[in-house]
Amino acid sequence: MAITLVNPAGLPTVDAYRQVSVATGTRLVHLAGQVAWDAEGTTVGADDLAAQVEQCYLNVGTALAGVGGSFDDVAKLTLYVVDWIPDKMPLVLDGISRAAAKLGATPVPPGTLLGVAALDVPEHLVEVEATAVLD
């Protein structure tokens, strides 16, 4: 595994992610932002933020598997959430938890969540992009 996740002393411990990732691999992988499309391009979870977060994370996992990686190789995630308010955090965490169970992973690399006005199509509520490092 090319990524070690750390919560250094002096920074708060956050359950949803680790504060730092240390990469030692040799291949840097940048994924396009993943939205809640299935393999046929149909939106999963219309009006359901948790379902869309889950699908985005599954798509990240699929993309990484396609280049020989997994969520264990993710160094950084960025989530873009439409019309963000803090009350939506339980839905985001629910979607992440459901995806983690399906992926057999605990996707907790450092992350940034940004509120946005809109995404590519009106029915998309979230987009997740990732940077990974592979051996």
Report the distance separating Cα 124 and Cα 71, nearest Å: 22
**Where residue 81 sits, what CATH number does that domain have?**
3.30.1330.40
pLDDT at 43 over 80: yes
Domain that holds residue 115: 3-134
Q: Which helix (H) or strand (E) holds 56?
A: helix 49-65
Q: pTM to 2 decimals?
A: 0.92
Q: How far apart are CA 85 and CA 18, in angstroms?
A: 22
Is it the case that residue 50 has pLDDT exceeding 80? yes
* Total number of domains constituting the chain: 1
Q: Are 79 and 113 in contact (CB under 8 A)?
A: yes
CA distance 47 to 52: 8
Give the pLDDT of residue 76.
96
Lookup: tokens for 66:
């396609």
Is the distance from CB of 88 to CB of 52 less than 8 angstroms? no
